[in-house]
Amino acid sequence: QVQLVESGGGLVQPGGSLRLSCTASISTNVMGWYRQAPGRERELVAYNTLGGSTKIGDSVKGRFTISRDNAKNTVYLQMNSLRPEDTGVYYCYAAFVIGGSKYWGQGTQVTVSS
């Protein structure tokens, strides 16, 4: 089992920034983020691997970046130029292989509103 602890959500105005953090109890190859807005399906935001491969979702490219501190088993999501449509619950996840079974964090709310 992998336990994940997230932090960093909150309320921010449009155009603002937030950084989410997620720490895993053990090292895993893949760490990343999904998000879910009310009434919508969960969508991939970004992930990266221990080897440095990264994928960023089309809706956040150019605005969000993902980084990782492997020594701390921690992944970060830097979110810039936030928009109201970025509002939702952001879930950290970990997996041993890309496309493999996922372990989930508890979710953290991000609200972008004036």
**Mean pLDDT calculated for residue range 10-29:** 97
**Mean pLDDT calculated for residue range 64-93:** 97
**Mean pLDDT calculated for residue range 64-69:** 96
In this predicted structure, what is the pLDDT of residue 99?
87
In this predicted structure, what is the pLDDT of residue 57?
96
DSSP helix/strand/coil, 8:
coil
**Mean pLDDT calculated for residue range 38-49:** 94
Residue in 107, 95, 3 with CA at minimum distance from that of residue 50: 95
- pLDDT greater than 90 at residue 38: no
d(CA 104, CA 24): 10
Q: Judging by beta carbons within 10 Å of its beta carbon (0-12, 13-18, 19+), is residue 8 exposed, middle or buried?
A: middle
In this predicted structure, what is the pLDDT of residue 6?
95
